[in-house]
């Protein structure tokens, strides 16, 4: 009887102290290295393609700004550079620069915050290397179309790594994407706020007609 009560007490303590989903710091910069695979179709007719993306990120939730410089390395293809700058407070614009051309979109939405989803469940904790303590969270949709394991530092909620998959239909064809991402060289704050300036390629660009980006 006493042994049973002790076990119940321990379970209660574990549940009460389980880490909860968190949000990253309000300002940080770093590099996100990602690798993934796309599977189009099913069975013998399925077509597999792999890719690698290096993402230089400047994240400023405090002032509603973000910059992403993506270097995409498709297997068997040439590197592609895409730059995205979002100003969600002042200009309320999202600029995309690709191949020397700019697309400017208006947005009425607030800037999405980089957080572990609120419905994520604490999965496990541990220590990377000798000292870095981390927490892992799992999140998925009931229909099995999306799932992810997200790792963040136990102190400060610094992003560390993420594994995710997503299933969808594109032009009536099944599509599954698997992505692994790891974060490196993360530093607090923004070194140079000019990274959020309107790109020179966008000085004369006009918004696409009747297009509004919604991030809600």
pLDDT in tens, 148-205: 999 999 999 999 999 988 877 666 677 788 889 999 999 999 999 999 999 988 876 5
On whether residue 57 sits in a domain, the answer given is yes
> Which CATH number belongs to the domain containing residue 62 in this structure?
2.50.20
Pick 77 or 208 by higher pLDDT: 77
pLDDT tens-digit readout, 21-72: 999 999 999 999 998 887 776 765 556 677 889 999 999 999 999 999 999 9
The domain containing residue 50 runs over which residues? 28-213
- Collect all residues with Cβ–Cβ distance below 8 Å to 108 and sequence separation of at least 6: 92, 212, 214
Tokens 């990253």 correspond to what residue? 24
**What is the pLDDT, as a whole number, of residue 121?**
93
**What is the pLDDT, as a whole number, of residue 8?**
45
Residue 10 has pLDDT above 80, yes or no: no
Residue 1 has pLDDT above 70, yes or no: no
On whether residue 10 sits in a domain, the answer given is no
On whether residue 170 sits in a domain, the answer given is yes
On whether residue 64 sits in a domain, the answer given is yes
Residue 213 has pLDDT above 60, yes or no: no
On whether residue 11 sits in a domain, the answer given is no
Query: What's the predicted TM-score (pTM) here?
Result: 0.80
On whether residue 8 sits in a domain, the answer given is no
**What is the pLDDT, as a whole number, of residue 166?**
82
pLDDT tens-digit readout, 105-139: 998 889 999 999 999 999 999 998 899 999 999 99
**What is the pLDDT, as a whole number, of residue 9?**
44
Lowest mean pLDDT of 24-28, 94-98, 138-142, 144-148, name the range.
Answer: 144-148
Lowest mean pLDDT of 71-75, 174-178, 210-214, name the range.
Answer: 210-214
Number of domains forming the structure of the chain: 1
For residues 75 and 61, the answer to whether their CB atoms sit within 8 Å is no
**What is the pLDDT, as a whole number, of residue 73?**
87
Beta bridge partners of 34: 53, 181
On whether residue 22 sits in a domain, the answer given is no
On whether residue 7 sits in a domain, the answer given is no
**What is the pLDDT, as a whole number, of residue 216?**
41
Residue 7, token pair as written in the block: 């076990």
């Amino acid at each position: 009887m006493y042994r049973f009560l002790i076990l119940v007490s321990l379970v209660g303590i574990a549940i009460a102290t389980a880490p909860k989903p968190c949000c990253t710091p309000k300002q940080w910069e770093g590099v996100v290295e990602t690798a993934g695979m796309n599977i189009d179709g099913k069975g013998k007719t399925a077509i597999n393609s792999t890719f690698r993306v290096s993402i230089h990120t400047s994240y400023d939730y405090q002032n509603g700004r973000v910059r992403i410089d993506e270097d995409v390395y498709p297997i068997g293809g040439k590197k592609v550079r895409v730059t995205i700058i979002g100003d969600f407070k002042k200009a309320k614009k999202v600029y995309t620069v690709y191949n020397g051309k700019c697309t400017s979109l208006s947005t009425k939405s607030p800037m999405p915050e980089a957080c572990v989803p609120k419905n994520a469940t604490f999965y496990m904790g541990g220590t990377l290397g000798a000292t870095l303590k981390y927490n892992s969270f799992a999140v998925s949709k009931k229909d099995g179309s999306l799932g992810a394991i997200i790792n963040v530092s136990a102190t400060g909620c610094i992003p560390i790594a993420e594994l995710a998959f997503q299933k969808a239909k594109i032009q009536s064809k099944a599509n599954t994407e698997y992505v692994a991402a790891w974060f490196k060289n993360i530093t607090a704050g923004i070194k140079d706020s000019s990274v959020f300036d309107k790109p020179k390629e966008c000085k004369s660009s006009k918004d696409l007609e009747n297009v509004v980006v919604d991030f809600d």
